[in-house]
Amino acid sequence: MKNLIKTIGNIIFSAITRLVLCVWLLFANPMSVTFRCLILIIFCIPLLRYFLHKTAGTRMDHPFSNSSPRGGVIRFVLFSASLVVYLFAIPHVFSVYNISLPGYLLVIGLSIVAAFAVFWRIQRRPDQSQRNENVLLTTMAFYTLPFLAGINYAFDLSRPAITKYYVTDTETQTFAYHSDPAEGESETTLYYLYLLPADSIIVPPHWMEVSGEHYKNAGFDWNCVKANINCTNCMLLDMERRASSVKAASFRQRNNIEATYHLLVLKTNAQVFRREFGYEVYKRFTEGNYLHLEDHHGLLGGRWYSYQ
């Protein structure tokens, strides 16, 4: 019976199985049913493994418990691969929270500290009667924070508060920095959307024909132009010069080309503000789109946001 339990544990609950599931999780949409199932399965595998060994009275293997050179190398490779995947999984799981790089590093750091605290405790007090519990705690130190963050939104069925915005402009800013003189220059890009609350729009975007002088001055003195065209609450979105052909009075004469000048404006009682987004959200919107920001309460009380 013990051999059967050990065989099942080695196959179903192996590090390879968990590694494959974590890689699959990286490519799953956080809002999908696949993501929900995967995050539950990955979290429950160590628990099921523990209860299975507890019931059978067998010992759970620790990643560095094998004394043979070959076994030790394989376990170290699997542990290293799992750690690399973990570093990519954290930003993926936490992507809906819009946290910055220091936030990701904090989550990863807390998990690593907790895991090595358990590992250090095992080394100082190698109590074999608590071996299975110690191995479980080491694993769960890495899994708990991502799991709680994941189920907070993956299983959140509450009705979100929706705020609608009009996208007036987009912007990217690229900065160069030197993290290591030996590696040369690195770059980071920030993505921004300029937003206007939709409920503040008095008159939606529309084209207004203006004189050539007003068209010429609109680009650098809009406040003066909008006062002259009786549009004090207007916001300038775009400018366009349109050329049209006017039929000549006689067939012997060439048709005239006349230009008209137009401004795309909207009336509002609010100010545009700029907000930073991740690239995946930024690339979905362009100037003139409406963005629906959904503010979710979260299953565990952690607020998160989605964008439609």
d(C-alpha 110, C-alpha 227), whole Å: 57
What pLDDT tens digit does each residue of the chain (308 aa) get?
555 555 555 556 677 788 888 889 988 888 889 999 999 988 888 888 888 877 777 777 654 444 444 456 777 777 778 778 888 888 888 888 877 777 778 887 888 787 777 777 766 666 656 677 777 887 788 888 888 888 898 888 888 889 999 888 888 888 776 555 555 566 778 889 988 888 888 888 888 888 777 777 776 677 777 666 777 777 887 888 877 655 555 555 555 667 788 888 888 888 888 888 888 888 889 888 899 998 888 888 888 888 88
Work out the number of other CB atoms within 10 angstroms of the CB of residue 239.
15
Contact criterion met (CB below 8 Å) for 215 and 238: no
Amino acid at the residue 307: Y
Sheet of 290-296, strand order? 273-277, 184-197, 161-180, 290-296, 304-307
d(C-alpha 25, C-alpha 80), whole Å: 18
d(C-alpha 215, C-alpha 110), whole Å: 58
What was the pLDDT predicted at 292? Answer: 92
Domains of the chain by residue range: 2-154, 162-307
Sheet of 256-268, strand order? 201-210, 256-268, 234-246
Question: Helices (DSSP H) in 194-287: which residue ranges?
Answer: 212-218, 222-228, 279-282
What was the pLDDT predicted at 67? Answer: 42
Which pTM was predicted? 0.67
The angle subtended at Cα 122 by Cα 119 and Cα 127, nearest 5°, is 160
What was the pLDDT predicted at 209? Answer: 80
DSSP 157: -
